[in-house]
Amino acid sequence: MEGLGWIGEKRRRLGITQQQLARMAGVSQSLVAKIEAGSVDAAYSKVTAIVGALERVSLGKEKAARDIMHPGTECAKPSDTLHSVALLMRKKSISQLPVVECGAAVGSISEQAMLASLVSGKKGAAGLAVSDIMEEAFPNVLPSTPISAVASLLRHHSAVLVMERGRMACIITKADLLKTI
């Protein structure tokens, strides 16, 4: 059957046998073998069950946010000046920070936002408060969130906050994700 040859390759990459895949999908081992060999035109529901089982195994083996998160996230307060935040960013070699008030993320501040403020010609930009130019807060994920979901969020945001028990545990950036490669 054309187009399903990848099932056997994916199964082998995941390190499971045809029998294990069949058991997880609720189909016979011989059906899995025939699909992999391309010798049967399987029912859509059977193929869907097999693909679903492969996805469950794949997600179970995938790293999660907890595997790449690190403690000690630096934060800014809405009342901090751009000057103090710029000093912190330079000292820590970071390019963005969550803005936190009373333990909750209320926004974010980035080098880009600060540069835009300087370029706009605002007088006394260094003395402006973070709240004057902060951007939306970074998206939140749980420690158990798969890395693939974190990566999807990082396509549209510069960072992701990992939340534990309703509190910010850490920040994951594109640089953190690249370290996993």
**If DSSP states are collapsed to H, E and C, what string results for 106-151?**
EEEEEHHHHHHHHHCCCCCHHHCEHHHHCECCCCEECCCCEHHHHH
Least confident stretch, 5-9, 58-62, 156-160: 58-62
CATH number for the domain harbouring residue 134: 3.10.580.10
Report the alpha-carbon distance of residue 106 to residue 117 in Å, rounded.
19
pLDDT at 1 > cutoff 60? no
Phi, psi of 98 (to 5 degrees): -75, 145
pLDDT at 118: 81
User: CA angle 8-13-14, nearest 5°?
Assistant: 100
Q: Domain containing 21: what range? A: 6-61
Same domain, 13 and 37: yes
pLDDT at 169 > cutoff 70? yes
Instruction: Give me the residue label for tokens 């999807």.
Output: 152
Structural domains in the chain (count) = 2
CATH number for the domain harbouring residue 11: 1.10.260.40
Side chain identity at 104, as an amino acid letter? Answer: A
- Mean pLDDT calculated for residue range 103-119: 89
Residue 100 within a domain: yes
Report residue 3's pLDDT band, with 50, 70 and 90 as the boundaries.
confident
Same domain, 131 and 160: yes
pTM metric for this prediction:
0.64
Same domain, 94 and 28: no
Instruction: Copy the structure tokens of residue 75.
Output: 């934060």
- The partner residues of 81 in beta bridges, in order of sequence, read 129
